[in-house]
Amino acid sequence: MWLETDDGAGPVLGIHLGMAGRIVVDDGEAGDPPPGSAGGARRDAEGADPTRWDRFAVTFEDGGRMALRDKRRLGRVRLEPDLRRLGPDALHIPRATFRERVGRGTGPVKARIMDQAVLAGVGNLLADEALWRARLDPRRAAGALDEAELDRLWRAIRAATRDAIAKGGVHTGRVIAHRAAGERCPRCGAPMQRATVGGRTTWWCSREQR
């Protein structure tokens, strides 16, 4: 994501959350229960000050504080990031543009929609959720999808993105909790299948996703 400063007149701040990073404002982690005991300092599960995991922080003129908190240390921040390499935002891309950019090539469709130069904003979990909603096998060649299938995927990505924003994260997706050995599709009950697609662990319904 990128943030404008000074009502757009200042530099752009680019933030990459990595796999486990989160934005913390005034020490409040959105979607998490408040840690620590009443009257005491806020502590993480190990009893230590959670600010030790802050990769970056900015203090506002009014005294507020925003931080990128990331225990895995994969998140990063860039001042004035080069946004020219990013494709259109996945939530706002028009249908015709989506067809043109995604429906080409011999690579798997999951890798295609995760390519940030093709489409910006789709990560591993969101890709699995959207492909599950669209009933598409993540291993299929992107260029082999017909217009109806591309349109289903376009709608599924937009819907999954909106739901993730409303509910506090991609981890709230309907299929995400079933991305594990022995799990079954929450829609039809078929076994979930696993493989590596585009270098990422991928799960899909063995019956419905074709």
Is the pLDDT confidence value at 48 over 90?
A: no
Per the CB < 8 A criterion, the answer to whether 105 and 141 are in contact is yes
Q: What mean pLDDT do residues 51-70 have?
A: 89
**Single-letter code of the amino acid located at 43:** R
Q: What percent of the chain has pLDDT over 70?
A: 90
Selected residue with higher pLDDT from 185 and 12? 185
Q: What is the pTM of this model?
A: 0.78
Contact 79, 165 (CB under 8 A): no
Q: Which amino acid, 159?
A: A
For residue 25, give the amino acid letter. V
Q: What is the pLDDT of residue 44?
A: 56
* Edge-to-edge strand ranges of the sheet holding 2-3: 2-3, 13-16, 76-79
- C-alpha angle 68/72/74, rounded to 5°? 65
Query: Is the domain 86-205 a CATH 3.40.50.2300 member?
Result: no
What pLDDT score does 1 carry? 81
CA-CA distances (angstroms) from residue 188 to 130, 175, 201, 206? 16, 11, 22, 10
90-110 burial code (b ≥16 CB/10 A, e <16) = bbebeeeebbebbbeeebbbb
Q: Where are the domains of the chain?
A: 2-79, 86-205
Our CA angle for 162, 160, 169, nearest 5°, is 70
Is the pLDDT reported for residue 39 higher than 60? no
Give residue 169's pLDDT.
83
**Dihedral, 33, 55, 87, 81 alpha carbons, nearest 10:** 140
Write out the H or E segment, with its range, that includes residue 193. Answer: strand 192-197
- Mean pLDDT for the chain? 89
Residue 67 clears pLDDT 50, i.e. is over it: yes
Q: Is 160 exposed, middle or buried (0-12, 13-18, 19+ CB in 10 A)?
A: buried
- Reported as a pLDDT band with limits 50, 70 and 90, residue 55 is confident
Whether residue 43 is predicted with pLDDT greater than 60 in this model: the reply is no
What digits encode the pLDDT tens for the residues 73-86? Answer: 888 899 998 888 89
Tokens 């620590």 appear where?
36
- pLDDT at residue 33, as a whole number: 47
Phi, psi of 129 (to 5 degrees): -65, -45
Res. 61: pLDDT tops 80: yes
pLDDT in tens, 89-114: 999 999 999 999 999 999 999 999 99
Residue 120's pLDDT band, with cuts at 50, 70 and 90, is very high
